[in-house]
């Protein structure tokens, strides 16, 4: 990573009172959770509509439920990585901080981040499509294991589905509203580990830039927004974000000592 670039990024972060961050599958991949795109992505092996649509769930409930059960098992065995923890520290150092994620694994919360804006829901949560009763993933798994057909039914008889946004469904209205507001008012916007291909999340960095935000991208690969960012770091979030935070903490500590 270029030292001069790092200095510029740290100065922007230091001077900003309002910082927004968008994270994508690349951040979770560093914790061992498979991405959906890329050479090893899940969608290279399965069609999205085979596993991630209401139609698929309704017509093949047992298979789809088993797939989500398996994904939860992977997440249960995974841990937040240094990038997750660095974002939690950055939140603590920032006056007005918004963390927006396309990920559904809850690893940001497990790292200590609060008020996370989840655009695509949370795979660890479930609800009945009939009565809307909420089920934790432990409750869901208990029902799943004790059902010989692996078709999880609520006590009312309705099917239980994961609380994620499937293809053809709208994003949670309140979440996308908060995300747009955070992007527009941000002074620095970080796009981290996302391909910036899936709307409306992919529009957030562009809206931030159009409204005067300093746009920083962290990604090992070129993305759909790489040509418009203010600054780009080619690498893993787990390597780069902790360096940002350590440098920022050092500068803030030196400033406090100078004031004294």
Mind telling me the catalytic residues?
120
- Alpha carbons 185 and 36: distance in angstroms, whole number: 30
Both structure tokens of 41? 């992505």
For 232, phi then psi, to 5°, come to -130, 135
Cα-based distances in Å from 153 to 53, 58, 65, 184: 18, 12, 11, 42
CB 56 within 8 A of CB 49: yes
Alpha carbon 76 to chain centroid, angstroms: 16
CB 120 within 8 A of CB 22: no
Cite the DSSP H helix spans in the chain: 3-15, 25-29, 48-51, 54-59, 61-76, 82-93, 107-110, 137-145, 173-185, 203-210, 237-259
| Beta-bridge mates of residue 156 | none
């Amino acid at each position: 990573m270029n030292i001069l670039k790092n200095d510029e990024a740290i100065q922007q972060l230091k001077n900003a009172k309002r910082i927004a961050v968008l994270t994508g599958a690349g951040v979770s991949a560093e914790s061992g959770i498979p991405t959906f795109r890329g050479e090893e992505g899940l969608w290279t092996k399965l069609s999205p509509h085979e596993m991630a649509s209401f139609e698929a769930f309704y017509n093949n409930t047992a298979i789809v439920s088993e797939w989500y059960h398996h994904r939860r098992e992977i997440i249960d065995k995974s841990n937040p990585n240094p990038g997750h923890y660095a974002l939690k520290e950055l939140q603590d150092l920032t006056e007005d901080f918004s963390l927006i994620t396309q990920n559904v694994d809850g690893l940001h919360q497990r790292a200590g981040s609060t008020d996370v804006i989840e655009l695509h829901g949370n795979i660890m949560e479930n609800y009945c499509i009939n009565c809307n009763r909420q089920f934790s993933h432990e409750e869901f798994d208990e029902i799943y294991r004790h059902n010989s057909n692996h078709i999880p039914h609520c006590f009312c008889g309705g099917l239980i589905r994961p609380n994620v946004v499937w293809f053809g469904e709208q994003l949670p209205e309140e979440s996308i509203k908060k995300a747009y507001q955070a992007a527009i008012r941000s002074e620095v916007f970080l796009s981290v580990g996302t391909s910036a291909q899936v709307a409306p999340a992919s529009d957030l960095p562009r809206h931030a830039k159009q409204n005067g935000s300093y746009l920083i991208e962290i990604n090992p690969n070129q993305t759909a927004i790489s040509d418009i960012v203010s600054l780009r770091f080619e690498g893993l979030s787990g390597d780069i974000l902790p360096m940002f935070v350590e440098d920022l903490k050092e500068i803030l500590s030196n400033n406090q000592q100078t004031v004294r």
